[in-house]
Amino acid sequence: QKEVEQDPGPLSVPEGAIVSLNCTYSNSAFQYFMWYRQYSRKGPELLMYTYSSGNKEDGRFTAQVDKSSKYISLFIRDSQPSDSATYLCAMTEDTGGFKTIFGAGTRLFVKA
Amino acid sequence: DAGVTQSPTHLIKTRGQQVTLRCSPKSGHDTVSWYQQALGQGPQFIFQYYEEEERQRGNFPDRFSGHQFPNYSSELNVNALLLGDSALYLCASSRWTGGLSGANVLTFGAGSRLTVL
């Protein structure tokens, strides 16, 4: 069983739709949860970063962490064609956890 | 402000050869991590370097080795290349905060795409 599970998609939505991306994990030591966005032929770039459980909002993006269910989500409101990319969830343990574990990534296509 | 730079961008090798990939971290960053990303997969942690020492290693064989220089730049070396080593190799830099103020948030380069024939 992988430490982090993420549906690879692809997920295709019309412009303006609300997008929901999700990951589950098995390691209860994970404390930091990130979402990275990766465009084709580019390296991943950080979108959101949360610590422990709770919600965090940044513009059209909202990240949610439910540690009791070992489940994290990223919501994108008013999706745009420029949001078309691969979204990677990532996690790391608390102090001393140097390595970041990534999900497989979900490919998102937003149609104009 | 230059971000993370990696070289070469693309390279083709044959089985059994050796390859060296290079990385310059973002200004102000002192920690370098290397990741392997196979097609359609998420990045897999190879190892992390801090203060010129390998601090942690993922599940990769000893054919994968690295080095960090005093200016924080880093190299990834892969010996005895296998077809399965074909992938995008990503370098990520971060600034170590002693683990007291959050995770090491990574800044990635664009990667070096290695093809092994």
Per-residue pLDDT reduced to its tens digit, A20-74: 999 999 999 898 899 999 999 899 999 998 888 889 999 999 999 999 999 999 9
What's the pLDDT band for A97 if we cut at 50, 70, 90?
low
Tell whether the model's pLDDT for residue B89 goes beyond 90.
Answer: yes
Residue A10, domain extent: 4-111
Which residue in this structure is represented by tokens 């999900």? A103
Domain with A75 in it: what CATH number?
2.60.40.10
Q: Is A40 on the interface with B (CB under 8 A)?
A: no
Residues A92-105 have a mean pLDDT of 81
Per the CB < 8 Å rule, is A98 touching B104? yes
Which candidate from B45, B55, B107 shows the least CB-CB separation from A100? Answer: B45
Residues B38-60 have a mean pLDDT of 93
The answer to whether B81 and B116 have CB atoms below 8 angstroms apart is yes
How far is the C-alpha of A106 from the C-alpha of B92, rounded, in Å? 21
Q: What pLDDT was estimated at residue A58?
A: 94
Please report, as a single letter, which amino acid is at residue A57.
Answer: E
Pick the residue with more confidence: A52 or B59? Answer: B59
Q: What pLDDT was estimated at residue B26?
A: 95
What's the pLDDT band for B96 if we cut at 50, 70, 90?
confident
* Closest-CA distance of chain B to residue A79, Å: 23
Residues 6+ away with beta carbon under 8 Å from B14: B81, B116, B117
Cα separations (Å) of B79 from B7, B20, B92, B95, B109? 18, 9, 21, 29, 22
Q: Which residue of A has its CA nearest to B111?
A: A43
How far is the C-alpha of B84 from the C-alpha of B107, rounded, in Å? 26
Tell whether the model's pLDDT for residue B102 goes beyond 80.
Answer: no
Q: Which residue of A has its CA nearest to B104?
A: A98
Burial track B28-37 (b if 16+ CB lie within 10 A, e otherwise): ebebbbbbbb
3-state secondary structure of B43: coil
Tell whether the model's pLDDT for residue A94 goes beyond 80.
Answer: no
The two most distant CA atoms of chain B are separated, in Å, by 45
The answer to whether B31 and B48 have CB atoms below 8 angstroms apart is yes
Per the CB < 8 Å rule, is A96 touching B99? yes
Domain count, chain A: 1
pLDDT digits (tens, 9 = 90+) for A72-86: 999 999 999 999 999
Per the CB < 8 Å rule, is A41 touching B110? yes
Q: What pLDDT was estimated at residue A7?
A: 87
Q: Which fold has domain B5-100?
A: Immunoglobulin-like (2.60.40)
Q: What pLDDT was estimated at residue A107?
A: 96
What's the pLDDT band for B1 if we cut at 50, 70, 90?
low
3-state secondary structure of A1: coil
Pick the residue with more confidence: B30 or A93? Answer: B30
Residues B47-66 have a mean pLDDT of 94
Q: Is B84 on the interface with A (CB under 8 A)?
A: no
Tell whether the model's pLDDT for residue B101 goes beyond 70.
Answer: no
* Closest-CA distance of chain B to residue A107, Å: 9
